[in-house]
Every structure is written in structure tokens, then in C-alpha cells.
Amino acid sequence: MHTVVSFTAETEFSVKKDDFLFRDENKADMIALISTALTERGCHVIQSPGDADVDIVKATVERSSLCTTTLVGEDTDLLILLLHYSRRYNEAIYFRSDANKQSKEHKVYNIKLLKEVLGDDVCNELLFIHAYSAEPVERPPYPSDGGPHVCPGASR
């Protein structure tokens, strides 16, 4: 049974994580608790109602107008969005990949340097290039009617 759980930062859990996170109310309360703790420790916290990638990147770029900023994530989309939205006049933005969490070494990308090397024209077109060349995910090779369809990037 998946119940709504009342908890504080000191609560010790005896339920399975999946059972707890099954209820949207529990997830929302957990996010609020974490957000409050981070804000109290001086972190800049944003909450996004949907797919947060664009909001995260825009907040990172906005923050980089004040100070050097690092975005930690495991999503290639974040790197592409950073290259697209970042501006040369802002402070440095670093993107650190934590895709391989078991490794002690993480790749760190200097967005300002990458943007200089690639140039503004390429960075302005990256969203289109990435969308067109990305491998299709969770899509069968043929539609349900059995006929072929075109998948961008499938010819590689």
C-alpha cells in the first residue's frame, strides 16, 4: 500500500524508496524539504513544473552573469542547451558530467572555451543539429501498421 507519509529532516525511513516515491504528495514534500535545506545553505534553487532542462540551463546562464557557475548533470541535452544559451560576456560556466557516478574522475567542460572554439554560428544551430541527429529512443523500427518510417539519424 502506498500511503502519504508525514516527515521532517530528522525522520528515519523504514519504508522502501519506491513505495514512498509512488505518491506525488510524498515527492512534492521531499522536494520542498530539500529545496528549503539548500536555500538555507546559500544555494540558488529553482523548481520546474515539467521537463526542467531548459529552466535549469537558463537559471545557470542567468547566475553566470554574477559569478562563475557549475552545472552538474548527466544529460547531453544540458551540454547542448548550455552551448546554445550561454553568452560570451558572462562569467565562466562549467558543465560537469556525473554520468559515470562510480568513477572518481568526472569530465568537466568549459562552456565559454567550447563556445569560442565552435563559434556562435554552430552554437546557434546546435538545437536543430542535436534534435535531427539524436538516435530515436523507445521507438520501434516500424509503425504499428508495419510500414517503414523515417527516423532522423537512423542511417548512421
Lowest mean pLDDT among 12-16, 56-60, 114-118, 129-133: 12-16
Q: Which DSSP helix (H) or strand (E) runs through 132? A: helix 120-133
Q: Could you tell me if residue 148 is inside a domain?
A: no
Query: What confidence tier does 118 reach under pLDDT thresholds 50, 70, 90?
Result: very high
Q: What pLDDT does residue 127 have?
A: 85
Query: What confidence tier does 148 reach under pLDDT thresholds 50, 70, 90?
Result: very low
Q: Could you tell me if residue 145 is inside a domain?
A: no
Q: Could you tell me if residue 3 is inside a domain?
A: yes
Query: What confidence tier does 144 reach under pLDDT thresholds 50, 70, 90?
Result: very low
Q: Could you tell me if residue 99 is inside a domain?
A: yes
The predicted-structure confidence for 23-36, as pLDDT tens digits, reads as follows 788 888 888 888 89
Q: Whole-model pTM? A: 0.64
Q: What pLDDT does residue 48 have?
A: 77
Total tally of structural domains belonging to the chain: 2
Q: How far apart are the C-alpha atoms of 69 and 59, rounded to whole Å?
A: 10
Q: Which of 76, 27, 82 is nearest to 59 (CA)?
A: 82
* Residues 25 and 63 placed together within one structural domain of the fold: no
Q: Which of 116, 107, 70, 108 is nearest to 89 (CA)?
A: 116
Domain of 34? 1-45
Q: Could you tell me if residue 120 is inside a domain?
A: yes
Q: What pLDDT does residue 11 have?
A: 74
Q: Hey, which residues does 108 pair with through a beta bridge?
A: 96
Give the mean model confidence (pLDDT) for residues 93-105.
77
Looking at every residue in the chain, the average pLDDT score rounds to 78
Q: Could you tell me if residue 30 is inside a domain?
A: yes
* Residues 129 and 57 placed together within one structural domain of the fold: yes
* Residues 19 and 82 placed together within one structural domain of the fold: no
